[in-house]
Structure 1
Amino acid sequence: MNQDIEHAPRDAVILLSGGLDSATVLAMAQAQGFRCHALSISYGQRHVAELEAARALAEQAGCLSYRRIEMDMRLIGGSALTDPAIEVPTTPSDDIPITYVPARNTVFLSLAMGLAEVLGAQDLFIGVNAVDYSGYPDCRPAFLEQFQKLSQLATKAGVESGQGLRIHAPLLHMSKGEIIRQGIALGVDYAATVSCYQADDQGRACGVCDSCRLRQEGFVQAGVNDPTRYISAST
């Protein structure tokens, strides 16, 4: 095989939420030489500040393109992230928490798969994590494996050549501290990311939700200062 062709830059779709994990994944994909197209989903989430963070991160990283798809999963409800009548929990739970959004990652990956097919890309990056995560069923290795198999049946490339998407989840088995150390090594500006489930319009974090707790623990594990902007200066 021609080595120049084998090692030619490849296009990849990056699901970019604007949070800590997806910002790290974008940096990792670029470090591997991928030509990155960022995709964010406005799905009716209460923490809409993450979308502006995603746009800024994509611009800062020099992504080839940035797209934001609008949809409304509030019509489904069932999650504290999409139903304002359901409070965001502030204490850990052994059960799948109410911040789980039914079908979210399935929908996100489907949209990213469609974009990848249009772009002629075979690589898709997502920042799911099976170590420091909230117990969501769509953040597990088994889910990603099955979706990758689905892409072989659901895309033109998969049907015609048997080559579906390659789904990359580089954070899957990393702790939050390991993720942060990796991101810092790649120059990720974590002060520009928004992870909080109930961040205000300025992107400031509540400091008490599950996502904030995991993020705080991650910076402690990494041994670096937490650059997160909090609503309360005492948090």
Structure 2
Amino acid sequence: MDSTTLVTKLVRDGFSPTCVSFDYGQRHRKEIRYAARTADKLQLRHLILEAPIQSHSALRGHSEIPQNLSPADSGQSPTVVPGRNLVLISLAMTVGCGPVYVGCNADDAAVYPDCRPEFIKHLSLATQAAYGRSVEAPFVAMSKVDIYRLYVELGLKSNDSWSCYNGKGTPCGVCGPCIAIRGAKETCQK
């Protein structure tokens, strides 16, 4: 939902970004098909890059996806892929486009260290020094509720994005992203 909202907003704001998806061995590769569909709908170039990240994260199928785990739960989530955004953003820089935009948000920052504002700030300083291009995370201070409101405002529907970590036929409803999106919808409907 975050990346779909971001790219749709960028297009609405007059940008024509190149969309980049990554196959890093995640079990929810279905998100790549949804990204391709979004890029096609918005008439944008879409690249799929291989990113063989070595990790024992649940996202790579090495353990079960935790159910009913909220960002408030303490400890590192088994879905953390250490260094994921560092590697993926670095790979996106090789495409040779302008700034790299990422959908990191305040709720993700609670669980994923490489979604935190200070990480994005310092990585952007490094990429500017090395490549003359920044890393932009316009949602970094926004909650999932804020992003969902924008998603709806942009005319996006529930079948326009895929966030479920299980990657099966329908969203599982019990993984972190499913719970977060359901909570955002419920909050917005009040």
Does the TM-score normalized on the shorter chain lie above 0.5?
A: yes
Q: 1:139 maps to what in 2?
A: 115
Q: Deviations over 1:90-128 (max 9, x none)?
A: 13231120100111100111011121x3x4x2x221000
- The aligned runs of 1:165-184 (5 Å cut-off) are 165-184=133-152
Q: Of the candidates 196, 199, 210, which is equivalent to residue 164 of structure 2?
A: 196
2:65 to 49, 73, 88: 88
Q: State the alpha-carbon separation in 1 of the partners of residues 111 and 62 from structure 2.
A: 22
Give the SS at the match of 1:106. helix
State the 1:131 CA deviation.
Answer: 3.0
Pick one of 164, 170, 174 that aligns with 1:208.
174
Structure having the higher Rg: 1
Identity of aligned residues (%): 33
Give, in whole Å, the separation in 2 of the partners of 1:52 and 1:127.
17
- Contact kept, 8 Å, 2:68 with 2:179, in 1: the verdict is no
Q: What SS does structure 2 have at the residue aligned with 1:54?
A: helix
Could you tell me how far apart the structure 2 residues matched to 1:132 and 1:144 are? 13
Q: Counterparts in 2 of 1:51-62, with a 5 A limit?
A: 51-62=32-43
Deviation, 1:85, is 3.3
Residue identity matched to 1:205: P
Residue-by-residue CA offset, 1:111-166 (whole Å, 9 max, x unaligned): 11121x3x4x2x221000123555110010000111111112322xxxxxxxx223
Aligned in 2, Cα 1:46/1:134: closer, same or farther, shift over 3 Å?
farther
Q: How has the CA–CA distance of structure 1 residues 135 and 34 changed in structure 2, closer, same or farther, with 3 Å as cutoff?
A: same
Deviation for aligned residue 1:34: 0.9
Which structure 1 segments of 5+ residues have no match? 1-19, 156-163, 225-235
1:180 CA displacement:
1.1
The alignment partner of 2:55 has SS state of coil
Whichever residue aligns with residue 176 of structure 2, its letter is D
Aligned equivalents of 2:86 and 2:152: distance in 1? 29
| 2:10 alignment counterpart | 29
SS at match of 1:35: coil
Give unpaired runs (5+ residues) of structure 2. Answer: none
* 1:11 matched residue in structure 2: none
**Cα RMSD after superposing both structures:** 1.6
Q: State the alpha-carbon separation in 1 of the partners of residues 110 and 3 from structure 2.
A: 16
Under a length normalisation based on structure 2, what TM-score does the superposition of the two structures give? 0.92
Residue 186 of structure 1: aligned partner: 154
Could you tell me which residue of structure 1 aligns to residue 128 of structure 2?
A: 152
Distance 1:146 1:55 in 2: 30
Distance 1:133 1:152, change over 3 A: closer
Q: What amino acid maps onto 1:78 in structure 2?
A: H
1:108 matched residue in structure 2: 88
